[in-house]
C-alpha cells in the first residue's frame, strides 16, 4: 500500500511588500495595485482574504474608498479599513488569479483631510477543500486521488 499526503501552499507576487505606497494624494485621485495569488500546492484550496491591522487618521472614513476585484467579480467595495474577511472561492492546484486593489480619495474631501494617512495589512488564507473517501477494489492499483470541486 502507498499513501501520500498532499500540500496546501500558495504564492503571492507582493509577499511581504505593499500592494501600493503612494504619497501626496489629492481629492479625486485613484490608486490601483495588482497582486497575483497562485495555489502552488498539490491540493485544491478554499481561499479567503482578510484585511487586518488597519490604521487611519482620516476624519471621515467615507473619504477613502477601497474596491478589491478579480477582473470579473467585486470581492469588496466600501470604506478603507472595513473589509474584514471575504471569501474568494476554490482555487484548483496550480490555479492563479490577479486581484486589483483600487483606492479612491473622495473628490468632495475637505481641508480636514490634509496630511492624513491610512494603512492596512492583507492576509491570503487557504484551507483544504472538503474531505473525501476513496475506495479501491481488488486488483485496482493504489493511486493518489484528489476530489476537489
In this predicted model, what pLDDT tens digit does every residue of 96-119 receive, in sequence order? 999 999 999 999 999 999 999 999
Angstrom distance (rounded) from CA 50 to CA 121:
8
pLDDT value at 64 more than 90 = yes
Please tell me the pTM assigned to this model.
Answer: 0.85
Q: pLDDT band for position 145 (50/70/90)? A: low
Kindly list the distances between the CA atom of residue 121 and the CA atoms of 19, 71, 88, 149, in Å, as whole numbers in the listed order. 10, 21, 17, 30
CB distance 149 to 131 below 8 Å:
no
3-state helix vs strand vs coil in the chain, percent to 5: 5, 45, 50
Q: pLDDT band for position 44 (50/70/90)? A: very high
Angstrom distance (rounded) from CA 23 to CA 40:
34
pLDDT value at 138 more than 90 = no
Angstrom distance (rounded) from CA 26 to CA 18:
20
Angstrom distance (rounded) from CA 53 to CA 121:
6
Amino acid at each position: 500500500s502507498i499513501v501520500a499526503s498532499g500540500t496546501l501552499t500558495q504564492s503571492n507576487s507582493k509577499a511581504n511588500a505593499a500592494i501600493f505606497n503612494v504619497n501626496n494624494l489629492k481629492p479625486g485621485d485613484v490608486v490601483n495595485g495588482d497582486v497575483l495569488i497562485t495555489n502552488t500546492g498539490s491540493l485544491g484550496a478554499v481561499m479567503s482574504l482578510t484585511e487586518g491591522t488597519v490604521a487611519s487618521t482620516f476624519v471621515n472614513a467615507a473619504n477613502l474608498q477601497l474596491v478589491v476585484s478579480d477582473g470579473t467579480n467585486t470581492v469588496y467595495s466600501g470604506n478603507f479599513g472595513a473589509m474584514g474577511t471575504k471569501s474568494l472561492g476554490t482555487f484548483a492546484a496550480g490555479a492563479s488569479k490577479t486581484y486589483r486593489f483600487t483606492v479612491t480619495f473622495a473628490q468632495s474631501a475637505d481641508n480636514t483631510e490634509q496630511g492624513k494617512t491610512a494603512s492596512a495589512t492583507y492576509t491570503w488564507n487557504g484551507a483544504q477543500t472538503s474531505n473525501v473517501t476513496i475506495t479501491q477494489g481488488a486488483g485496482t492499483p493504489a493511486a493518489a486521488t484528489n476530489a476537489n470541486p
